Amino acid sequence: MVSDLFRFRRARPRDPEVEAWFAAPEPETRRLAQLWFERLRAAGPDVREVLHDTYPTACVEEAAFAYVAAFKAHANIGFFQGASLPDPKGLLDGAGKRMRHVKIRWGKPVDEAAVQALIAAAYADMRARLDAGG
């Protein structure tokens, strides 16, 4: 059986490439993405990170559970198994088989508790998948 988990053997507790990505000046929405990436980092003791497809990616051990991206007008918090996450506030966008994301914009209200709940659910979901042998 082939696993549907996205794995990065090079994931580590702190990746200098991720730090360099946040240090880049443009787009300014990287600052917004960094605030949320800090919450991804704090999701659990086994969170690791890697720069993948030019975006900071958070992993449970080596299995990716979320990423942040920065664009001119907004930042995204993406979830690799987002389609299976509970989303009672309807924050998740996307129509792919697995991935979903939340758009964050400067000056627009964000339901921080709901986004934090998505982060916690994504972490717990990936931890459970790994524990089940995924």
Rounded Cα distance between 93 and 65, Å, is 16
Domain boundaries, given as residue ranges, for the chain: 16-131
DSSP structural state of residue 84: G
Per-residue model confidence (pLDDT) at position 2 = 45
Q: What is the mean pLDDT of each run of 10 residues along the chain (134 residues)?
A: 80 97 94 97 98 97 98 96 96 95 94 98 97 87
As given in the structure block, the two tokens for residue 95 are 């129509």
Per-residue model confidence (pLDDT) at position 133 = 87
Per-residue model confidence (pLDDT) at position 134 = 74
As given in the structure block, the two tokens for residue 40 are 């991804």
Per-residue model confidence (pLDDT) at position 4 = 81
As given in the structure block, the two tokens for residue 107 are 């000056």
Using CA atoms in the order 13, 15, 16, 22, what is the torsion angle rounded to 10 degrees? -110
Per-residue model confidence (pLDDT) at position 82 = 97
CATH topology of domain 16-131: Aspartate Aminotransferase, domain 1 (3.90.1150)
The structure tokens 């053997």 sit at 9
Per-residue model confidence (pLDDT) at position 105 = 94
- Collapse the DSSP code of 132 into the 3-class scheme (helix H, G, I; strand E, B; otherwise coil) and give the result: coil
Rounded Cα distance between 108 and 52, Å, is 28
